[in-house]
Amino acid sequence: MPKLVTIDDETEFTNLIEGYFTPRGFEVFSANEGTGGLELIRRERPEICLIDLKMPGIHGDEVLRQALEFDPSIKCIMITASEGGGKTRDKLLQMGAYKCFDKPISSLKDLEKAIQEAVLL
Amino acid sequence: MAVIGTLAAGINHEICNPLGIVRGQCEMFLLNMRDGFYENKSREDLVKLCGDIMNKVIRETDRATAITKKLSGFAKPSKNNDMEEVLIEREVQEVLGLLGQDLKLNNIDIQTDIPANFPVFLADRKQIEEVLFNIIRNGAQAIDKKQGKILVSGFAQNGSAIIRIADNGSGIPKESLEKIFHPFYTTKAPGKGTGLGLFIVKQIVERNRGTIAVESEVGIGTTFTLKFPTAVKAITAAA
């Protein structure tokens, strides 16, 4: 069963991810801030991480950096608000993010497609 | 421009996120239904699930609505004919009438020290009430002591009417102090504050030709100082 860690300060968002991906065969772990998220990554060694960029405390880009430093094979999908435009996205992809999705997620189906593809890689 | 950028980013975060949750909850339900994940659920379970989703939709739309309401109120231009002579003691009492019960329940002692000859100033009265309401309520929320105190005082100085609102709350750390007037900046727990209150307060004060300053010490309390030019044709509160 693939493991998915979702890190977002919006509890409703992490609940949504759990509610959607658990019945679809994923083991989902949630954290609502970066430090707790990194602990989960180190403990659970997930295949996939969904990381919100804008969070109180450690920001998503630092979580991405430390997650990939711990295990470069983790596929990190960054959830970004669009205000940073292409620059933010380019920077995150350069840092090693697998994909970036705009927040709010416009389609769970599209997110699922990206995650299923990442699991198969 | 920095304020507009921060405001736009905040709107995106604070309004789009709840809308994203609403959409996501509905989409999840429909896709789970399509993919047969609810086939083994009883009617009661499905009704409960739908109820949970509806409650989330209501909560998140309320959250987005509250922010748009605040912003639309803020965007409403002030008309010159809304400017009138403000008797600060009266406005403070109006606000305490609204907040008094809450303050009492939270064991907060509120005192006023505004002299009878405190000068009047020209401003939009309702907006000044909003300013006082926000600062006093924030002060009350910051009080973590058993014996909370808020003092609203006023004095005249060099042609200005100065109002001070001091609380003995938890205080604001130096690194947060410079950000408290930024839009969507909040030190409250997620969902507890929009981060728009003090941003709007500052805009209102400046729109009414005033200034606002804040001093704070962690563990001791916070003091907001409002300063407005006194009305040329001065009358006194006692008159």
Identify from A8, A16, A105 which residue to disrupt to test chain B contact, counting B C-beta atoms within 10 A and taking the largest count. Answer: A16
Q: What is the mean pLDDT of each run of 10 residues along chain B (239 residues)?
A: 58 80 93 92 94 93 81 61 84 83 79 91 89 89 84 92 93 87 74 76 91 93 94 51
d(CA A20, CA A23): 6
| Amino acid identity for residue A106 in this structure | S
- A20 to B24: CB separation less than 8 angstroms, yes or no: yes
Residue A104 has its nearest CB partner, among B9, B17, B35, at B17
Has residue B22 been placed in a domain? yes
Count the neighbouring beta carbons within 10 Å of the beta carbon of residue A42: 12
Among B25, B45, B56, B60, which would you mutate to test the A interface (most chain A Cβ atoms within 10 Å of its Cβ)?
A: B25
B-chain residue closest to A18, CA distance: B28
Q: Tell me what pLDDT residue B17 has.
A: 83
- Cα of first residue to Cα of last residue in chain A, in angstroms, is 15
Chain A contact residues (CB < 8 Å to B):
9-13, 16, 19-20, 23-24, 54, 81-83, 103-109
Establish if B238 belongs to a structural domain: no
Q: What pLDDT score does B4 carry?
A: 59
Per-position pLDDT tens, chain A of length 121: 999 999 998 899 999 999 999 999 999 999 999 999 999 999 999 999 999 988 877 889 999 999 999 999 999 999 987 555 577 889 999 999 999 998 888 889 999 999 999 998 7
Q: From the list A20, A103, A109, which residue is nearest B20 (CB)?
A: A103
- Give the pLDDT confidence score for residue B235 in this predicted structure: 46
| One domain, residues B91 and B133 | yes
Compute the residue count for chain A: 121
Instruction: Out of B75, B107, B129, pick the residue that ends a domain.
Output: B75
- Which residue range forms the structural domain that includes residue B185? 80-229
Same domain, B205 and B120: yes
Interchain CB distance below 8 Å, A16 and B190: no
What residues of chain B lie within 8 A of the CB of A19, using their CB?
A: 28
Q: What are phi and psi of A107, to 5 degrees?
A: -155, 120
Q: According to the model, what pLDDT value does residue B237 have?
A: 45
User: What total number of domains does chain A contain?
Assistant: 1
Domain assignment present for residue B236? The answer is: no
Decide: B3 and B183 in contact? Cβ < 8 Å. Answer: yes
